[in-house]
C-alpha cells in the first residue's frame, strides 16, 4: 500500500495584489498549516512535493524543508482575469472539456495532475507515503477520474464528492485540508478527507 496525502494549501492572503502564482499565506495560514500537519502526521516515511505557487510552497514548508516543486501540481488556469464567472466554475464539473477564454479545462488539468501523481507513486515504496500540496480545482480535476463530484451550491463553492458510493466530502474544501489516497498495485483503494 502506498499513501498520497493530497493537501489543499492553507489560507492565502486574499488582500494580496500579487499575481495569482505569488499570493502568499497569511500569518494565520502559516500557523494553521503547521498545526494541521502536526495533527495528522503520518508514521510512514514522507517525501514532500508542491505546486510552485507561493501559497502551496509555503504550506509545504510546514511539512518539510526539503520540497520538490512540480509545475504539474499548479492550480487550474481560469483564463482571462475577471471573466471566470460562478456559472463557469460550476460548468467545469459537468463538462470537463469546458475552458474559459485563455483558461484550462478540467481534462487538461487532470492529465497533468495524473502525470505528476503517477510519477510520485513510482518514487514511493510500498508502506511509504508522500505529501503533495496543490489547489482545490486541480485536486478536483484529478479526483474526477475516481470520484463523482457534484456541485451542491455554486455560490458557496460547495461540492459533494463520493467514491465507490460513499461520501468523502460534502461541503467546502477547507484551507488547509487533505485527501488521503491509498493505492495498492497502482489502483486507488480508498479516500479519506481530513480538514482542519
Domain boundaries, the chain: 2-83+108-144+173-195
Which pLDDT belongs to residue 31? 97
CA distances from 154 to 88, 158, 194 (A): 10, 6, 22
What whole-number distance in Å separates Cα of residue 4 and Cα of residue 115? 14
Nearest CA to 4 out of 166, 196, 195, 184 is that of 184
Give the pLDDT mean for 76-84. Answer: 88
Reported pTM: 0.96
pLDDT at 91 over 90: yes
Cell of 164: 465507490
CATH number among 3.90.950.20, 3.40.50.300, 3.30.360.10, 3.40.50.1240, domain 2-83+108-144+173-195: 3.40.50.1240
- What residue has cell string 502506498? 2
Give the pLDDT mean for 95-121. Answer: 96
Amino acid at each position: 500500500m502506498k499513501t498520497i496525502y493530497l493537501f489543499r494549501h492553507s489560507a492565502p492572503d486574499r488582500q494580496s495584489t500579487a499575481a495569482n502564482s505569488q499570493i502568499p499565506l497569511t500569518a494565520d495560514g502559516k500557523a494553521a498549516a503547521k498545526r494541521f500537519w502536526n495533527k495528522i502526521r503520518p508514521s510512514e516515511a514522507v517525501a514532500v512535493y508542491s505546486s510552485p505557487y507561493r501559497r502551496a510552497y509555503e504550506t509545504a514548508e510546514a511539512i518539510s524543508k526539503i520540497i520538490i516543486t512540480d509545475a504539474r501540481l499548479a492550480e487550474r488556469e481560469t483564463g482571462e482575469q475577471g471573466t471566470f464567472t460562478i456559472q463557469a466554475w460550476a460548468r467545469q464539473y459537468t463538462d470537463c472539456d469546458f475552458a474559459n477564454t485563455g483558461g484550462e479545462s478540467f481534462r487538461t488539468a487532470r492529465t497533468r495532475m495524473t502525470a505528476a501523481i503517477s510519477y510520485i507513486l513510482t518514487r514511493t515504496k510500498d508502506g511509504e507515503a508522500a505529501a503533495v500540496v496543490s489547489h482545490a480545482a486541480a485536486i478536483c480535476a484529478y479526483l474526477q477520474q475516481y470520484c463523482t463530484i457534484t456541485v451542491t451550491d455554486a455560490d458557496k463553492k460547495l461540492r459533494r464528492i463520493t467514491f465507490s458510493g460513499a461520501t468523502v466530502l460534502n461541503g467546502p474544501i477547507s484551507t488547509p485540508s487533505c485527501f488521503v489516497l491509498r493505492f495498492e498495485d497502482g489502483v486507488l483503494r480508498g479516500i479519506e478527507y481530513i480538514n482542519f
